[in-house]
Amino acid sequence: MKPFVLIISGTPGTGKSSLAKELSLSKHWKLIDINKIIQKYSLSEGYDAKRGSKIVDTKKLIKTLTSIISESQHENGIIIEGHLSHYLPKKYVNLCVITKTHISTLNKRLKKREYGQEKIRENLESEIFDICLEEAREKGHKILTIDTTELSSKQSAKKLTANLP
């Protein structure tokens, strides 16, 4: 039996990781953190100092993730979390969740993470223009958006669980 594959994407700071962890615990589904996969499989091709982030070969990332999915056929469900998760082709994904949050809340979260001004500006613009949502639409994913502005991770997970098997 194939596992239910849920991807959680969104702008950094919108609550993807918290939601994914909470959902993984409540559903007892396997959680795959894209950042850990990038590190484990050396998928970074360098570091972008201006953006303060790794440069990732998305083709290699997708190949690695699809391999992990096919090796996880014994799982009931798999949650793949990270702002690049929506790059997975739709044939591997049952549902794509895009987390969103109000700009002022996102700004506070990113400052708390001590992101530089340029990186904060870039991420705020990404949220304003719905970059992750639009890219997920371009991939043809079945999409559910969750606004995490005023929800705890438990509340977000409960809201999402109503839409899952």
Domain containing residue 25: CATH number: 3.40.50.300
pTM as predicted: 0.95
Beta strands 77-81 and 44-48: pairing type? unpaired
The distance in angstroms from the start CA to the end CA of the chain is 14
- 3-class secondary-structure state, position 35: helix
- Give me the number of domains the chain comprises: 1
| Mean pLDDT across 102-109 | 98
Residue range 20-25: average pLDDT? Answer: 97
Mean pLDDT of 153-160: 93
| pLDDT mean over 71-92 | 96
Q: What is the mean pLDDT of residues 107-122?
A: 94
The burial class, CB within 10 Å (0-12 / 13-18 / 19+), for 58 is exposed
Give the pLDDT score at 138: 98
3-state SS, residue 140: coil
Which tens digit of pLDDT belongs to each residue from 23-32? 999 999 999 9
Is the pLDDT at 50 greater than 80? The verdict is no
Q: Which residue range is the domain that position 77 belongs to?
A: 4-161
pLDDT at 13 over 80: yes
Residues 6+ apart with CB under 8 A from 146: 15, 19, 97, 98, 99, 100, 156, 159, 160
Q: What is the mean pLDDT of the chain?
A: 95
What pLDDT is recorded for position 9?
Answer: 98
What pLDDT score was predicted for residue 33?
A: 98
User: Whole-angstrom Cα distance, residue 1 to residue 62?
Assistant: 22
Which of 123-127, 129-133, 134-138, 154-158 comes out lowest in average pLDDT?
154-158
55 pLDDT more than 80: yes
d(CA 118, CA 102) in angstroms, rounded, equals: 19
Does residue 161 have a pLDDT over 80?
A: yes
Q: How many of the other CB atoms lie within 10 Å of CB of 143?
A: 17
Share of the chain above pLDDT 90, in %: 87
Give me the pLDDT at residue 36, please: 96
pLDDT computed for residue 51 by the predictor: 75
